Amino acid sequence: MNLPPEPILMDKKNDLLTLFQITDSFFPSGSFAYSWGLETYVHEGMIRTRQELQKFLEAYFVGFIAQGDAVILKLSWEAAQKEDLGSLIRLDRLTHSLKLAKELREGSLHTGRQILKVMSGIRKMLFLERYAEGVDMGRAWGHHPVVFGMVCGIWGIYQEDSVLAYLYQSLSALVSAGVRLIPLGHMDGQRSIEEMKPLIQRISKNLVEIGEGDISTFAPGLEIRSMRHEHLYTRLFKA
């Protein structure tokens, strides 16, 4: 006799599929249209090999992600679980203040708002609608790590899975940009991803002991290249 699937198991599998969905390159968030300063480094001749790309990836994740976007995502997930709109808006404003370079700031906004728009159209949820209304009225910004963390929190996706998925998507997008810009072979790209896995896991593990007071970013070289990007003669990426 074939028994029907357990509802809880089905829900968790559906949550996992939702996570795959919002991190897929097919999802119209626009995240794969940004190089986050990498294109300027390549244009200036500072990144020409896979080893040099690796140093860029490490600098990006340590400088921007480890105590910046990853922490904000974690706290946004927690705020969504509690349906704490005030904390979510505060995190959104904090994120905006951390994005000093115009292209980094606009890229985060475009990506976050696209996720918000698509997910709002897929499933009607009151908290999501309240936040979207805040963005429309200018009370919130709609930055990528905030929206990503909020969506995962609302959908009930495990926090650790949410963080790892965000980190991997960020890595995949950057490596894909590097493969096209330098250019490199696809095997080089896969090697870069493999070598970054230990750092991604450390970032995820360290989030357990990190709170809002620890949020900080420091990557002046990357910010300067992001600022220079809009002045490049030819550009393949938006930032």
Q: Give me the pLDDT at residue 234, please.
A: 86
Q: Which residue type, as a one-letter code, is found at position 82?
A: K
pLDDT tens-digit readout, 131-172? 999 999 999 999 999 999 999 999 999 999 999 999 999 999
Residues sharing a CB contact under 8 Å with residue 37, sequence separation 6 or more, in sequence order: 60, 101, 103, 104, 222, 223, 225, 226, 229, 239
Q: How far apart are CA 70 and CA 74, in angstroms?
A: 6
Q: What is the largest CA-CA distance in the chain?
A: 67
Q: Please check the confidence at residue 197 and state whether its pLDDT lies above 80.
A: yes
Q: How far apart are CA 18 and CA 21, in angstroms?
A: 5
CA distances (Å), origin 18, targets 13, 109, 116, 161, 221: 9, 21, 14, 12, 35
Residue from 173, 185, 231 nearest 33 by CA:
173
Q: Give me the pLDDT at residue 9, please.
A: 47
Q: Give me the pLDDT at residue 174, please.
A: 96
Q: Please check the confidence at residue 7 and state whether its pLDDT lies above 70.
A: no
Q: How far apart are CA 59 and CA 72, in angstroms?
A: 19
Q: How far apart are CA 165 and CA 20, in angstroms?
A: 8
Quick one: pLDDT band at residue 3, thresholds 50, 70, 90? Answer: very low
Q: Give me the pLDDT at residue 158, please.
A: 94
pLDDT tens-digit readout, 40-87? 999 999 999 999 999 999 999 999 999 999 999 999 999 999 999 999
pLDDT over 70 for what percent of the chain?
Answer: 96
Both ends of the chain: CA-CA distance in Å?
Answer: 57
Domains along the chain with CATH numbers:
44-229 (1.10.4190.10)
pLDDT tens-digit readout, 177-190? 999 999 999 999 99
Q: Look over the chain and give the mean of its residue pLDDT values, rounded to a whole number.
A: 92
Neighbours of 221 (CB within 10 A): 13
Q: Please check the confidence at residue 1 and state whether its pLDDT lies above 70.
A: no
Q: Please check the confidence at residue 125 and state whether its pLDDT lies above 60.
A: yes
Q: Is the model more confident about 31 or about 29? A: 29
pLDDT tens-digit readout, 92-124? 999 999 999 999 999 999 999 999 999 999 888
H or E stretch covering 55:
helix 50-60
Residue tagged 């994740």 (tokens):
61
3 SS3 class: coil
